[in-house]
Amino acid sequence: MGEEEEEEEEEEALPVRVVARARPLLGVETVLSCRSCVAFSGGASLVLGKDRVFTFDAVYPPSSSQESIYSEWVKPLVDGCFQGYNATVLAYGQTGAGKTYTMGSGNNSCRLEEEMGIIPRVMADMFQRIEEDRFLSGRELEVRVSYIEIYNEEMKDLLHPSTSSKSIAIRERGDGKIVLTGVKEVQVNSLEEMQRALDEGSLCRTVAGTMMNNQSSRSHSIFTITIDQQVPKRGGKSRELITAKFHLVDLAGSERAKRTGNVGVRLKESVNINSGLLALGNVISALGDEKKRATHVPYRESKLTRMLQDSLGGNSRTVMIACISPADSSFEETLNTLKYANRARNIKNVPIINR
């Protein structure tokens, strides 16, 4: 293949992939006599209520495993990172819909192997790959992680919780890449070190009970893995740096404030959470609209969208997982989640290798 053709292939625009996942009915829902209001046909569509049909890139019914969603949608992104492509996985949905379970961004120490979520699987795969590539001549590799939380429009470094939020800022470099200043990345040399970073950071997340989930994460959390590789150039003695960033995002619950029974501080939180998600929705819809995409995408409306600027509609391979509860008591929230996720299907990203 000629160099020009290679360039063309790299710059092909890819849509953001959107998959929907329904968790099983929880014990508490069964006790409250909730019934499932979502039907699955086995394909990429689902039916909410009597006749609202939604089609995504894939649909995962309650019986589906953590492994299937990981191997079909996330593993290819891990492979891409080693080639220098950025990747992003976002979990969206109302409180209690299964975002933290799916991402594996909660406490993983008591989980069975098959219950492990996406982040622990990404880490295990990366280190297996690093181990396998160890003997490739001349290759040097460095892996770093950062873990941040956006809570009430303030950013917290979960790996260095004593860092003041005020010293953290999001900046756009001349080449359009987004960088965080004030957040300290941690270099990790083994799977165990990376797992420790995830577990310790997860413990510092802002969690509180709502009427819908007694361990509700009230913030957006973003676990970022950066891989830097010094690779010998083909045929020459010189080397090139290939770098890739993998954002794993567990978004705060998308529910409307009223349903969570929130008042006071929790209500203020809900308003802030929703403003981040609203901004994300606006960015998603602008990216899905050809005219707006060319003129103005409102990334600056929130910290969340600013931080994900080069992952949404930018240089990244992106998968969004819309998590839903099948319970009829969550019908309205599920409808909102599915509508929101549907809009994301129009976004096109242009992944290029980061040399």
Ligand X SMILES: Nc1ncnc2c1ncn2[C@@H]1O[C@H](COP(=O)(O)OP(=O)(O)OP(=O)(O)O)[C@@H](O)[C@H]1O
Q: How far is the CB of 95 from ligand X (least distance, A)?
A: 3
Min dist CB 24 to ligand X, Å, is: 5
Q: Which is nearer to ligand X, 112 or 294 (CB)?
A: 112
Residue 326 vs 351, nearer CB to ligand X: 326
State how far the Cα of 217 lies from the Cα of 210, in Å rounded to an integer.
Answer: 10
**Closer of 83 and 215 to ligand X (Cβ):** 215
Q: How far is the CB of 127 from ligand X (least distance, A)?
A: 25
Residue 350 · residue 314 · CB < 8 Å? yes
Shortest Å distance, C-beta 62 to ligand X: 7
Dist CA 107 CA 199 (whole Å):
6
Residues that bind ligand X (CB under 6 A): 23-24, 26, 93, 95-101, 213, 215-217, 253, 323
In the complex, the smallest distance separating the C-beta of residue 14 from ligand X, rounded to whole angstroms, is 26
Kindly state the smallest distance separating residue 286's Cβ from ligand X, in Å. Answer: 25
Which residue, 100 or 349, has its beta carbon nearer to ligand X? 100
229 in a labelled binding site: no
CB of residue 348 vs ligand X: minimum separation in angstroms? 27
Distance CA 312, CA 287 (A): 8
What would the two tokens of residue 197 be?
């970073």
Task: Determine if residue 206 is labeled as part of a ligand binding site.
Answer: no
The answer to whether the annotation marks 236 as part of a ligand binding site is: no
Q: By C-beta, is 216 or 309 nearer to ligand X?
A: 216
Asked if 184 and 163 touch (Cβ cutoff 8 Å), the reply is yes
Residue 99 counted as an annotated binding residue:
yes
Please state the closest distance from residue 1 (CB atom) to ligand X, in A.
Answer: 42
Residue 230 annotated as part of some ligand binding site: no
- Give the number of C-alpha atoms closer than 13 A to the C-alpha of residue 180, restricted to the C-beta side: 29
The residue among 216, 201, 332, 350 whose CA lies nearest residue 287 is 350
Does 268 carry a binding-site annotation? no
Burial class (CB in 10 A: 0-12, 13-18, 19+), 160: middle
DSSP for residue 330 = G
Per-residue 3-state assignment (H helix, E strand, C coil) for 105-152: CCCCCCCCHHHCCHHHHHHHHHHHHHHHHCCCCCCEEEEEEEEEEEEC
Q: Where are the alpha helices (DSSP H) in the chain?
A: 3-10, 27-31, 66-69, 75-83, 99-103, 118-133, 191-203, 257-260, 264-288, 290-295, 303-307, 331-344
Indicate the residue among 86 and 213 with the shorter CB distance to ligand X: 213
Residue placing its CB nearer to ligand X in the complex, 15 or 24: 24
Contact by Cβ (8 Å): 180, 307: yes
Nearer to ligand X, 67 or 228 (CB): 67
Rounded-to-integer distance, Cα 36 and Cα 19, Å: 19
Structure tokens that stand for 256 in this block: 């409307």
Instruction: Please state the residue numbers annotated as binding site for ATP.
Output: 93-100
Instruction: Please state the residue numbers annotated as binding site.
Output: 93-100
